[in-house]
């Protein structure tokens, strides 16, 4: 896929990649080491660090997702974003894709801060520093796993579940095998992505059910119209030949029930009634898809509220400990 095609089909993915690269170039131009940036430089550019993020700089929960620790880190995450994004963004839509990435990144950073804080309380850990888009990317990868389970397709192609499980498994194993990898950030991002994608998957099933119901109604409608038309043609022919050949008809004429004319008129009335009823049912069949479309956004709103509460909880614990120490 060329850059022009990527920009057309996955504009948010392109924007994220450009922001990663642009921020890295700005760091290098200001004198930051491209391969081994210092802790001070990373903090200056918005890395996630417990005393700052859980203190006066909660914005680091987002900024750290665009910051990378060295060129190799940037290349690895850039390739993963390209690999997942070109599939996930057309599948979920640009708005949901961006929200998914940001919330997964925040969820990963929050879990990292929580684990770090618990380690400090237990005397087994110390404040560290983390940066990178890995949490958000793991969230996207986990969302694609759910999409494969729900058989959500993009451009007519269904994702291979086994391949996705293999890729995600390799990333998690690599994180635990290599020192210095933010495993909590990866897990937190993946769990956030799974929850959001479940809501998207449920909406997909509701939409497919509505489509199948609509198709069934349309088939029934077509069959009813065909049958009614055939009956009307037969009845008209019968009446013209046998019943009213010598009768002068006008629009206000009245006929006996035995002539058969009223039967044709009632049939047409019933046909109109059938069509109206099926039109109402068809509209009703489509409504659940629009209602259920709100579910992912509602879930993301609840996740956002939960993240705010989580940050405040850790923040208050740190403040209380600091007051006790003083």
> What residues are labeled active site?
134, 186
The DSSP symbol for 241 reads: I
Closest CA to 143 of 205, 210, 96: 96
**In sequence order, what DSSP letters do the residues of 70-133 get, joined into one string?**
SHHHHHHHHHHHHHHHHHHHHHH-HHHHHHHHHHHHHHHHHHHHHHHHHHHHHTS----EE-SS
Q: How far is 45 from 37, CA to CA, in rounded Å?
A: 11
Q: How far is 70 from 236, CA to CA, in rounded Å?
A: 84
* Contact predicate 17/81, CB 8 Å: yes
Residue 285: which H helix or E strand, with range? helix 261-292
């Amino acid at each position: 896929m060329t850059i022009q095609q990527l920009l057309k089909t996955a504009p948010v993915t392109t924007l994220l990649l450009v922001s990663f690269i642009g921020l890295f170039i700005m760091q290098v131009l200001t004198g930051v080491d491209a391969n081994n940036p210092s802790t001070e430089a990373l903090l200056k550019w918005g890395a996630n660090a417990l005393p700052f993020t859980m203190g006066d700089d909660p914005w680091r929960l987002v900024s750290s997702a665009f910051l990378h620790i060295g060129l190799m880190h940037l290349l690895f995450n850039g390739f993963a974003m390209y690999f997942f994004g070109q599939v996930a963004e057309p599948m979920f839509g640009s708005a949901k894709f961006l929200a998914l990435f940001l919330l997964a990144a925040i969820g990963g950073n929050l879990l990292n801060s929580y684990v770090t804080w618990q380690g400090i309380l237990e005397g087994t850990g110390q404040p560290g520093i983390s940066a990178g888009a890995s949490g958000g990317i793991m969230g996207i990868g986990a969302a694609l796993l759910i999409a494969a389970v729900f058989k959500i397709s993009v451009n007519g192609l269904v994702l291979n579940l086994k391949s996705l499980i293999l890729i995600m498994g390799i990333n998690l194993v690599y994180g635990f095998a290599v020192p210095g990898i933010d495993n909590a950030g990866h897990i937190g991002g993946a769990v956030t992505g799974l929850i959001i994608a479940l809501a998207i998957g449920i909406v997909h099933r509701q939409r497919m059910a509505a489509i199948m119901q609509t198709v069934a109604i349309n088939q029934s409608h077509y069959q009813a119209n065909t049958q009614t038309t055939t009956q009307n043609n037969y009845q008209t022919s019968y009446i013209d030949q046998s019943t009213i050949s010598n009768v002068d008809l006008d629009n206000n004429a009245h006929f006996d029930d035995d002539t058969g004319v009223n039967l044709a008129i009632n049939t047409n009335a019933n046909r109109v009634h059938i069509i109206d009823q099926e039109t109402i049912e068809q509209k009703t069949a489509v409504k659940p898809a629009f209602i259920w479309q709100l579910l992912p956004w509602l879930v993301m709103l609840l996740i956002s509220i939960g993240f705010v509460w989580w940050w405040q909880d850790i923040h208050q614990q740190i403040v209380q400990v600091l007051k006790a120490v003083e």
